[in-house]
Structure 1
Amino acid sequence: MRWQIKEHLCLPLLLKVPQLRNLDIRPQMALCRRAKPEVFQEKGYIFQADSQIKQVILILCGEVCSYKKDDGESGVPPQKISAEYLGEELLDRMPSKTSTPMDFPISHKHIKAVTKVEAFVLTVRDLREVWSQFEGHLYDSNIRNWAESVLRKGLRRRRLVKRMEMLVQEARANNPRPDGRARAPN
């Protein structure tokens, strides 16, 4: 029951991330099971400038702001951002094999919690485990569903063409020619 609640809360957040939206449902559910709930306190850092991004944050509720490293010294106020997820740069760099070394992306801004932020966190380890477990099957069902729909449409079109040909032949056989003579059978 507990994992079902977690999946119910986490899956809609996961589907907002473009790189995860097109995954097969099995890897999506595996990511939901591995996601860990975390609370970032008000005014606490989520990411700091010039630090490595090693997790994807799926924001359930709360507000965040961002500012550049030198904005605090120049008096530029932090800008609230309407983020539903953070750390998507990490997904662009995920290796296809777990043994491949990874070059972590660097945060160019401070990301801070304006209010208490409740989120689900996916670490590099979580992502690597799902990628390795489902490697080669991450997107297969979507491709398979697409292929099946194309084949179904083709079969329907073929049946429709055959049916139309049969109706035309019946119409020719049952209707005499305009000059009153019967049509010769084919």
Structure 2
Amino acid sequence: MLFIIKGTMWTYASSSDSPAGQRISSMAIKRLGKGHFYGEELLDWASNCFTEVPVSSKHVKTRTKVEAFVLMSQDLETVVSRC
């Protein structure tokens, strides 16, 4: 999970016409900036104790220099289990 402290990012969808959704769409979906986060599907995963980490259908690209805080899936699971 990614928490943006500084800078700008955009989310993009995977193209459905490519094998396994490997190609990234050129159409931006959402702008992310200071105070935003990415990877909310991991919250459901961590709170429900699923065994496999979900694969996102979105990608992110930076538009400016970005400073961010990242929680890896194991760290997020630990945080959620304590709340």
TM-score, with length taken from structure 2: 0.65
Alignment of 1:36-185 (within 5 A): 56-70=1-15, 76-79=26-29, 81-83=31-33, 84-95=36-47, 101-132=50-81, 134=82, 138=83
Give the greater-gyration-radius structure (CA).
1
SS at structure 1 position matched to 2:46: coil
Provide Cα deviations, 1:145-173, integer angstroms capped at 9, x if missing partner. Answer: xxxxxxxxxxxxxxxxxxxxxxxxxxxxx
Greater per-residue strand proportion = 2
C-alpha deviation, 1:102, in angstroms:
2.0
Aligned-residue RMSD, C-alpha: 2.8
Structure 1 counterpart of 2:61, one-letter code: K
Structure 1 segments, 4+ long, off by >3 Å, are: 75-80
Change (3 A) 1:124 1:82: closer
C-alpha deviation, 1:77, in angstroms:
4.3
Structure 1 gaps, min length 5: 1-55, 139-186
Alignment of 1:7-26 (within 5 A): none
What is the distance in 2 between the residues matched to 1:78 and 1:103?
28
What is the distance in 1 between the residues matched to 2:29 and 2:79?
34
Change (3 A) 1:79 1:91: closer
Structure 2 gaps, min length 5: 16-22
C-alpha deviation, 1:82, in angstroms:
3.1
TM-score, with length taken from structure 1: 0.33
Higher relative contact order (CA 8 A, sep 6+): 2
Aligned residues: 74
